[in-house]
Each structure stands twice: as structure tokens, then as C-alpha cells.
């Protein structure tokens, strides 16, 4: 593995070297709990009146278990008195998977055997999981285990993995409020909220106009990207890319549905004016290996709170580096994304997380400090996020006891 962090053997060696000190080699898990904790200020979508069968909105009804509105908070306590926290996804459905399947597996195990526990949880849930809810649940647990390990060592997690490879990481702002992003200090902007291919030729014209206008607003020196949120198909993406070549986009993110591997491979072969980013909705090293094997992404975007946590994220980072593919984690400005970026050889870009989104207490807690268009390393120990008793009583009372 070419990343600058210890291999699994080295990590286990560090644990073994502490075995001579009483109580230093083990953290015995006594409790694993999870609760829904929406990160976005927007409410989880509610059921509404049925739309006509062919209404384009029916393809964009993402439901209550997708993305940030369905975040969960995982709490793991040990016999030694330490508590670790991690963010996962999948809402109440993922919490049930933890309560009824994964928590009993972890009871009494050593919390420092992080990679072993990941492999056991993945194998045990693979007959019904492999992606989606099961991986979102495992992600939260894995991050809580790393938080525990960092607290046990009294170090930021990135220091446990060999230390940072950079003092700071360039950041980009995901928003259509371009001027606001520039005022905040960002030197890269990603715009979103586009018409889909089902909106036809008129939607294509609107999308092209929006992109070209964004370039004018951002100026020639600002990196500009877009997020299509899986709303296009291959011919549409290729035509739009040709129409907006003058905008000099750094990448187009997720133009197709995540499972359209052949389509992504075709885009990567044929597109000329920009690059293709994918992976926000991919899961585990196995899924990311398929993207790499098929040459179906120029940029990989794992989200550690959904795709398998830090343990699996490090595997993805190593595979991306070996393939010469850039790693730009989804919401990379979070303490989790920054930990992965800071322990990769060439940290590229960290997406905004919470910055400029005032009034959201949790997102502010999970965001590292932005200085001069760069995110700084998160504080420690662990991931450096303090889920205080007051915060828990307010947002997750069942975990405050």
C-alpha cells in the first residue's frame, strides 16, 4: 500500500506493543446504540399526494433514507469508560440493522480490532446488504470505533495513521450562490440543481445557459464543477459537455445513475472538455474497484458516512492512487473526509460541509476550520467532535443517559 499510513499489520503491531501495559491493549465494547440525527436543516421528506404516472418528479422522490436528512449518530461505549461517536446514514432503518444485528455482534469484542470488526460486519450482512442501508450502518460504527481508538491514544485519528501529508487542503463550495462562496474565500465552486434529461430540449438549453452564466459569475480563475445528481443519460451528457466546453469545467459529478457502469465508462472514453466524477453513491472497496477496473471515473468521491467508513475509505484511497485516479471525497471538509484526505499522498480538494450553512449546529461541529480557501486538519483526540451531554439531551436524548 502506497499511502503514508501503517498497514493493518503495523497497526496490530502497535496494539500488541502496548500489551505489556495493563489495560492498554483492549477496549471492551459494552454498548452500541444508534439514533436518527438529520444533519440537513431540511426535514425528512413526507409522503405526498400521488403524482401522475409520467410526472418527471416521480424519478426524483428520494424518500426518507437517502443522504444527509437520514443521518444517524452511533455511540459506542467501552468497559474502560471511553465513548466513541460516528455518523452513518439510512435513518431509522439503519438503526434497526444496528440494534437487531450488528450491535449484538460487537458486544464484548475489542474495539481496537477495527479492521477485523469491519470485515466481520460486512461478511455477516452481505446476504442482504453489500450496499445501501447495511453499509451506511457499518459506516457509522466504523467511524465510532476510530473515534474510540483516537481517544484511547489521545491523538487525532490522522496522526494515528502516519500523520498529515499536507498542512491544509484546498476547498470547494457546493452552492449556486457563487458570489457568496467567493466572499467566504473559496477558489472553487460546484453548482447543482439542474434539469434532468426528461425535461427535454428546453431543459438542456436551460442547463447550458446556467453553466455558462456560472462561469461568467465565477470569473476565469475559479475552478468550476457541477453536480447533476444522476439526472442525465449518456447522449445528453455528451451533448451538454460540448455546448458548455467554453466553461472549462473541472468535472461533471454523477451525470448517470450509479449502476450505469457501461455508461460511465463510455463517458470517460468519449468526453473531451471535462472529467467525470462518481462514487458518492457507491459502496465498499468492491464497488469502487469495479469503477476503477472499468475506467468509469476520472474522480472518485466516497462519502465515509455512507460508503463503509474510514477503514474501507483507506482501501479505496489506496486503490485510487494505484490507478492514478483523483480522490475527492463527498463532503470532504467534514472531520471524516479531511482525515482521509490528510492521510493520502496527494490531497486534492475538500468539498464544503457546513461552511456558510449557518444555524445547523451539527454540521458546524463536524466541519473543520476554513482559512484562505483551505480546510485545516481537524482537532483531536479522535475526530475532535465533542458530543456534549447538552447536545445529546437536545438532539439525541436516548444517548444522553
Active site residues: 330
The residue assigned the cell 498497514 is 7
Cis ω on the peptide bond leading into residue 381 (within 30° of 0)? yes
Q: How far apart are CA 308 and CA 286, in angstroms?
A: 11
C-alpha cell at 8: 493493518
122/241 Cα distance (integer angstroms) = 38
- Any idea what the Cα angle at residue 27 is, between residues 395 and 80, rounded to 5°? 70
126 vs 137: CA distance, rounded Å: 13
Strand pairing category for 252-253 and 223-227: parallel
Strand positions, DSSP E, 256-303: 276-278, 299-300
How open is the CA angle 284-328-299, to the nearest 5 degrees?
A: 80
Query: Rounded to a whole number, what is the distance in angstroms from the first to the last CA of the chain?
Result: 42
H runs (alpha helix) in 8-132: 8-17, 91-97, 103-106, 114-125
**Does residue 218 contact residue 249 with C-beta atoms inside 8 Å?**
no
Phi, psi of 330 (to 5 degrees): -65, 135
Amino acid at each position: 500500500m502506497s499511502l503514508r499510513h501503517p498497514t493493518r499489520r503495523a497497526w496490530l503491531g502497535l496494539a500488541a506493543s502496548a500489551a505489556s501495559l495493563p489495560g492498554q491493549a483492549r477496549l471492551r465494547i459494552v454498548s452500541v446504540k444508534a439514533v436518527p440525527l438529520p444533519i440537513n436543516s431540511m426535514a425528512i421528506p413526507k409522503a405526498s399526494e400521488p403524482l401522475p404516472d409520467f410526472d418527471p418528479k416521480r424519478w426524483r422522490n428520494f424518500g426518507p433514507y437517502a443522504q444527509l436528512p437520514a443521518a444517524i449518530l452511533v455511540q459506542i461505549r467501552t468497559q474502560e469508560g471511553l465513548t466513541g461517536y460516528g455518523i452513518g446514514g439510512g435513518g431509522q432503518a439503519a438503526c434497526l440493522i444496528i440494534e437487531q444485528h450488528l450491535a449484538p455482534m460487537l458486544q464484548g469484542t475489542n474495539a481496537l480490532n477495527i479492521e477485523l470488526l469491519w470485515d466481520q460486519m460486512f461478511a455477516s450482512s452481505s446476504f442482504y446488504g453489500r450496499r445501501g442501508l447495511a453499509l451506511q450502518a457499518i459506516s457509522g460504527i466504523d467511524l465510532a470505533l476510530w473515534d474510540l481508538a483516537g481517544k484511547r491514544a489521545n491523538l487525532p485519528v490522522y496522526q494515528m495513521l502516519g500523520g498529515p501529508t499536507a498542512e491544509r487542503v484546498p476547498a470547494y463550495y457546493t452552492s449556486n450562490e457563487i458570489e457568496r462562496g467567493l466572499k467566504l474565500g473559496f477558489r472553487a465552486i460546484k453548482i447543482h440543481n439542474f434539469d434532468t434529461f426528461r425535461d427535454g430540449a428546453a431543459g438542456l438549453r436551460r442547463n447550458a445557459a446556467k453553466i455558462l452564466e456560472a462561469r461568467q459569475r465565477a470569473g476565469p480563475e475559479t475552478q468550476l464543477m457541477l453536480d447533476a445528481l444522476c439526472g442525465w443519460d449518456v447522449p445528453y451528457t455528451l451533448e451538454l459537455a460540448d455546448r458548455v466546453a467554453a466553461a472549462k469545467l473541472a468535472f461533471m459529478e454523477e451525470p448517470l445513475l450509479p449502476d450505469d457502469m457501461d455508461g460511465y465508462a463510455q463517458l470517460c472514453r468519449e468526453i473531451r472538455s471535462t472529467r467525470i466524477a462518481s462514487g458518492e453513491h457507491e459502496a465498499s472497496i468492491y464497488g469502487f474497484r469495479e469503477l476503477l477496473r472499468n475506467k468509469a471515473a476520472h474522480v472518485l468521491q466516497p462519502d465515509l458516512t455512507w460508503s463503509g467508513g474510514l477503514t474501507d475509505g483507506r482501501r479505496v484511497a489506496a486503490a485510487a492512487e494505484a490507478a492514478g485516479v483523483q480522490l475527492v471525497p463527498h463532503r470532504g471538509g467534514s472531520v471524516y473526509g479531511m482525515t482521509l484526505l490528510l492521510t493520502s499522498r496527494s490531497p486534492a480538494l475538500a468539498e464544503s460541509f457546513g461552511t456558510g450553512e449557518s444555524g445547523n449546529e451539527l454540521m458546524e461541529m463536524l466541519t473543520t476550520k476554513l482559512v484562505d480557501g483551505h480546510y485545516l486538519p481537524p482537532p483531536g483526540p479522535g475526530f475532535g467532535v465533542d458530543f456534549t451531554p447538552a447536545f445529546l439531551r437536545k438532539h439525541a436524548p436516548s444517548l444522553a443517559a
